[in-house]
Structure formats: C-alpha cells, structure tokens
Amino acid sequence: MKKILLTCLIFIIGVTGQLHAQEESEKEVKYGQITELPRQDDAMKKWRSNRFGQFIHWGLYAIPGGVWKGKTYEYAAEFLKSSAGISTATWDSLQYQFNPIKFNAMAWAKMAKAMGVKYATITTKHHEGFCLWPSEYTDFDIENTPYGKDLLGEFIEAYNAEGIDVSLYYSVLDWHHPDWRYKLNSEEDKEAFERLKIFTKNQLLELLDRYPTVKGLWFDGTWDQCWKDNGQFSYELEKKLKEKHPGLVVNSRMRADEYGSRHFDSNGVLMGDYESGYERRLPNPWDIEVTKNDWECCMTIPENQWGYHKDWTLTHIKTANELIEMLVQCTSQNGNFLLNFGPTGEGDFREEEVKLAKEIGDWMDDNSSAIYNCGYAGLKKQGWGYFTQNNDSETTINMVVFNKPINGKYRVKLNKGSVIKKAYLLSKPDKALDLEEISNGEYFIEAKKVKTKDPFVIIIELENKDSKKFHQKALT
Ligand code: FHN
C-alpha cells in the first residue's frame, strides 16, 4: 500500500512540475498570431491548391548583373551595391538607365502559364528601394526612368489574364530611404524610423489600392533589430492590410512579436498565414511536423542568385528534374514551391531560364494532377519517391517516382485496413499493374517496363476511404 501511495505522490509531483514549467515557459504574447491557422477560407484554399509559383526578382540590380567596372562579384547580384561598395548616389543613378525595351508582360505570362505555375510573386521594391510602380511616396520609382510606364500594373494585368494569381514582394529594408535604420540607438533614430514606418504603411496601402486583384503580400528584409523592436506595429499593420483587402495572404516574414520573435511567436505559434522560412532549402522529406502548417519554399536556379547575374558559370545550375523533385517534395508535405527567375535589365529572360521553364512545363502537362490541389497523403515516404493526394479525394493516391527499384517492385505501406482496388501508370490508365499484398495495408506494386528517364506517376485506387485524416487536420 505504502509503495502505491509513494508512486502516486511521485507522479503527482512530476506532473505538477511539468505543468509549472510549461506555464513558466509560456509567455503572454499580445502581438502574435492574428488569424487562426490553418485558414479555411476560399482565398487560402486557392493559395494552397496552387502549389507551384514563379518568383520574379527585378530591379536596378538587373542592369549591372553582378559586374561592376569590369569586375564580376560572385555574391547574389541584387547585393552588388554592398558587394562592390557602391555609394547610394551612384547606385541610385541607375534609375536613369532603366529602360527594359524587351519587356513584354504578355509573353512573360504565357511562358509562366506554359511552365505550369498558378501564381507569381514579383518584387515591387527590393532592398535597393527602387519601386516598379509609380508611387506617390517617392521619386525613386518606375515613373522617373526612361521606361516611365506602370510596369507592375502591366505585369499584374498580363498574368491575371492568363489565370495566374499575383502576390507582391515588398522589402521593408530600404537602402535608399534616408530614415532607414538597422538599430534604433538614439532618439533621432527612433524619430527617423517612425517616419519610415509611416512611409512603409503608406506604400503598402497604395499597392493594395492600385492593384485590387493581388492575392498576397510577401514581406522580406525584416530581420534587423529596428523591425524586431516594432512587433506591435507589424501586428497592427497586418490587421489593417487584411481589413482593407479581405482574403489577403501574408507570409510569416512580415511579423515579429513584442519580444522580437520572427515567423513564430515566443510560444512557437506561427504568425502570418504560412511559414516562409524555407529559402533555398527544403525540410527533411520524412518530416511530418512540417505538414501541420501551410508553408512555402522559395528557390533559386543557381545556388544563390535572385536578381539577374551575367555569369551563371559560377555555381551549380539546377536541372529540370532537380527542380521538379523539389516541387513534388513540397507538395508531398503540404508546401508550395516558388521558383525564382531573374529577368535582365532589358526585360527578357536568359536562355537557360526559358529552357528550364519549357522542360518543367512539359512535365507538368502530363503530371500536374499529382501537384495541383494535392498535399500530404498521411503516408510514410518510401525510397522510390513521394506520395501526394488530391485534397478532394480519399480513395486515390499519387506515387511520384524518382528512383526506380532494380526489381521493378514498388513497396507501399498504406494505413492499416487500406485495400488497393487497382494501381496503374498515370500515362497508361487502362493497364492495371500487378499487386502483391505483403501484410495488412502493405503491398508491392510491380512496374517493370517503365522506359521513361523522367519522373513518372503511379496511381493507387483504394477499395475503402483512406485514413490519412487520422494523421492531421486536413489543410484543405
Ligand atoms: O536578401 C534577400 C534576397 O535578395 C532575396 O530577396 C531573398 C528571397 O527570399 N530574401 C532575402 C534573403 O533572405
């Protein structure tokens, strides 16, 4: 009897201690998450079903393209101003050279459509501070260039005409603006930054006023202490923007809470509407935790070039199949894939980008049913590739294959109780593949005669409703 009492006492002390520790670690966060996640409104469901987007980094940095006074700087071309130690006055004078005579918004939009993207995110203003739209809050904008016209408006109209949603990238960090401060070390700094905050808010409201069809805002340049010290401001700004533009989708980079915690608040709660920390990297493909939130990976084709760089021989250039695998992995883990293109100063794309867009588009033509409106299938990833599942189906599962097993037999471990009715190649729906049941819900699917050297899709149709919902609240 004494032993039981002692055990109970130890248990109670342990649990109380844990609860106390948890309460201790939980902070009171006033300026954290605004919208309960995952959002289930139509705008977010459309964002989620899009899966594949085109990122466009375009600004004055496209003119020198990583080369200054005959010297090539290997770092990211949009950072040439700092890489080459160029004065703001000299850099800003590039504005008077910006005349992208080859820019054809409709041609860009048709290339994007053929590639298979459902959305595009374009830099309205990168860190240099130059605005691709005629802003009433600065002369450092497209209106004061030889081009002169509303380039951003042309882009949005052309992409929307092709059925592609447009989101706007906006850098809070602004090298041009005299009131930008990295840290607020003095009263003067604080007064200056208050002016910068008003400027930022005015420009964002201006963008939403001018371009009512945009679907989202993609914030960047929010890593400095000045912004981290302004959690209440970014909280109230997100609320204001969302009140003004119902359905607006905002990335997690916009926010810091009142303790300076970014992306996730000080209690680990995601801010914004989706996590946008996966930049030029992907999660572990076996990671299930990541499937619980909406998220997006933004990716460059070279190792680290967002803006146009004249020399692409400096690093590895990703192949179409590498990029397709990243898109499929994102989809398999409930994420979106935003692939970056850096147009030249004249307004066209380098031939490598055009070629990749075509190759990816050719694959999407045959296989996009495993991408659009698809997500995590609630199944453990296997060595041959990735499972995806259409959010509107519980009995059809996609297997996107990147690694053919030497015996031509694909092991699939479904949820207990799942029974395969039939399996077939997406490219040959009338030819059922041989099945061998290994155990409850585990099978070999035999596909020995697949000749293609590209990734391909096997479709599994189940007898019964799939039980993926047991794993997680579906993000549909
Ligand atoms: O410094 C920028 C960079 O130029 C690029 O815009 C990327 C895109 O995610 N964001 C910043 C680096 O994190």
Give per-residue pLDDT as tens, 68-111: 999 999 999 999 999 999 999 999 999 999 999 999 999 999 99
User: How many structural domains is the chain composed of?
Assistant: 2
pLDDT in tens, 388-407: 999 888 899 999 999 999 99
| Residue 463 structural domain | 376-474
Tens of pLDDT, residue by residue over 255-274, are 999 999 999 999 999 999 99
What value does the mean pLDDT take over residues 288-310?
97
- Pair (364, 391) in one structural domain: no
Take residue 288 and report the two structure tokens written for it.
Answer: 């299930």
pLDDT of residue 404: 96
Residue 378 predicted with pLDDT over 50: yes
pLDDT of residue 38: 95
Q: Which atom of ligand 1 is nearest to the CA of 223?
A: 13
Question: Same domain for 312 and 391?
Answer: no
Phi, psi of 225 (to 5 degrees): -60, -35
Asked whether residue 251 is assigned to any structural domain, the reply reads yes
Same domain, 322 and 456: no
384 lies in the same domain as 260:
no
User: What is the secondary structure of 332-360 as a DSSP string?
Assistant: HTTEEEEEEE---TTS---HHHHHHHHHH
Q: Is the pLDDT of residue 475 over 90?
A: no
Please indicate, yes or no, whether residues 363 and 446 belong to a single structural domain of this protein: no
**Is there a domain that residue 277 lies in?**
yes
Lowest average pLDDT, out of 8-12, 76-80, 97-101, 353-357, goes to 8-12
**Residue among 80, 123, 219, 220 to mutate when testing ligand 1 (max atoms within 8 A of CB):** 220
**What is the rounded distance in angstroms from the CA atom of residue 365 to the CA atom of residue 369?**
9
Q: Is residue 6 part of a domain?
A: no
CATH of the domain at 450: 2.60.40.1180
If asked whether residues 438 and 328 sit together in one domain, one would say no
Query: Helix, strand, or coil here: 244?
Result: helix
Cβ of 128 closer than 6 Å to ligand 1, yes or no, is no
> Atom 6 of ligand 1 has which residue's CA nearest to it?
306
Q: Is the pLDDT of residue 242 over 70?
A: yes
pLDDT at 126 over 60: yes
Q: Ligand 1: does its nearest atom lie under 6 Å from the Cβ of 189?
A: no
Cβ neighbors of 6 (< 8 A, separation 6 or more) are none
Residue 283 has pLDDT above 90, yes or no: yes
List the CATH number of the domain containing 340.
3.20.20.80
Extract the tokens encoding 281: 């990297």
Does 116 share its domain with 249?
yes
Whether ligand 1 lies within 6 angstroms of the CB of 279 is answered as yes
CA distance 342 to 54: 10
Query: 46-55 burial, b if ≥16 CB within 10 A, otherwise e?
Result: bbbbbbbbbb
Q: Within this chain, do residues 355 and 388 fall inside the same structural domain, yes or no?
A: no
Region 53-75: mean pLDDT is 98
Residue 138 has pLDDT above 60, yes or no: yes
Q: Is the CB of 298 under 6 A from ligand 1?
A: yes
> Rounded distance, CA 121 to CA 338, Å?
8
Q: Summarize the confidence of residues 366-380 as an average pLDDT.
A: 96
Domain boundary among 373, 400, 425: 373
Let me know if residue 411 belongs to a domain: yes
Span from the CA of 369 to the centroid of ligand 1 (angstroms): 31
What pLDDT does residue 416 have?
84
- Measured in whole angstroms, how far is the alpha carbon of residue 355 from the centre of its chain? 22
- Ligand 1 neighbourhood includes 461 CB (under 6 angstroms): no
Could you identify the atom of ligand 1 that is nearest to the CA of residue 298?
A: 9
- The stretch 161-168 carries a mean pLDDT of 98
Of 352, 373, 394, which residue sits at a domain end?
A: 373
For the entire predicted model, the pTM comes to 0.94
In this model, does residue 329 exceed pLDDT 90? yes
Kindly report the protein residue whose alpha carbon is nearest to atom 9 of ligand 1. 279
Domain shared by 337 and 434, yes or no: no
What is the per-residue pLDDT for 19?
52
In a domain, 30, yes or no: no
Query: If you average pLDDT over every residue of the chain, what do you get?
Result: 93
Query: Which of 331, 346, 373 is a domain's end point?
Result: 373
DSSP string, 60-120: GGGTTTTEETTEE--S-GGGHHHHTT--HHHHHGGGGG---TT--HHHHHHHHHHHT-SEE
Same domain, 71 and 91: yes
> Does residue 411 sit in the same domain as residue 320?
no
Residues 144 and 84 in one domain: yes
Domain membership flag for residue 319? yes
Share of the chain above pLDDT 70, in %: 92
394 φ/ψ angles, rounded to the nearest 5 degrees: -110, -5
Residue 4 reports pLDDT greater than 70: no
Is residue 297 one of the residues assigned to a domain? Answer: yes
Is 24 within a domain? no
Q: Is the pLDDT of residue 474 over 90?
A: no
pLDDT for 381 equals 92
Give the tens place of pLDDT for each residue, 403-439: 999 999 999 999 888 899 999 999 999 999 999 999 8
